Amino acid sequence: MSSSLEPEPPDAQAGAGPHRRTVLSTRRLESYTDGVFAIAATLLVLNVSVDGIGVARSDTDFVHQIGDLAPSVLNMVVSFLLLSLLWVIHVRQFEFIPRVDSTIVWLNNFRLLWVVLVPFTTSLNDEFGRFLLGRTLLPLNFLLILLFSTWQWFHASSPRRRLVQGASDAAIHNARVNSVSALGEAFGVVLLATLVGSPAFLLFVLDPLISLLLRRAGVLRPTPDGAVA
């Protein structure tokens, strides 16, 4: 759906430049994104239910029954921390993106589609983690979030579009490498989860080391014309 109220950038309004596109402020996009992340993170606590706690006749019984909730609490904590990390990545990226085009808006919308599914896939992981599909849907969910997040950053940081401002070429390059690193780790988590379940998320602990190795290896090396090799 298009709107005649969508503003155009100064160069498009003046007819300058071959790439005419609609460019919008990030104000509403950031507010919407923050709200979706906040709601998804809050809904995670619904996966921890006291319905399974029976009649406790002593403190020992109560402690044992609370202990039975540990897997649910662990799944909730893991999903919350990963969602928080993804939100931090979003905040850092948009510190350097003052305006967005319609492609970024829709890439962000598709990313949020998978964000709102995290409470559901966390619940499936908790209840059906003994099944192959049950323990892989949550890692796959995070893989799809990272896929659209990486796609969004590569689109925004393209030298042709010039949507990223105030960041050095080195910082943009490092952010690209970090995005690819996280995406590769998420794929690895999906594969490991088929074997070990939720502990596969520990692979993300290696992210700083893997990103450093990729940068030193010259992955996505910038070229003189601003593209990447």
Separation CA 194–CA 148 (nearest Å): 23
Asked whether the whole model's pTM tops 0.85, one would answer no
pLDDT at 1 over 80: no
- Asked if 181 and 150 touch (Cβ cutoff 8 Å), the reply is no
- Asked if 156 and 15 touch (Cβ cutoff 8 Å), the reply is no
In terms of C-beta density within 10 A (0-12 exposed, 13-18 middle, 19 or more buried), how is residue 15 classed?
exposed
3 state SS for 46-73: HHCCCCCCCCCCCHHHHHHHHHCCHHHH
For the chain, the structural domain boundaries read 22-216
Mean pLDDT of 101-115: 96
Mean pLDDT of 41-51: 82
pLDDT at 81 over 90: yes
- Tell me the pLDDT tens digit for each residue of 159-184: 888 899 998 888 898 889 889 999 99
Separation CA 9–CA 104 (nearest Å): 15
pLDDT at 114 over 90: yes
Q: Residue 7: its pLDDT value, please? A: 42
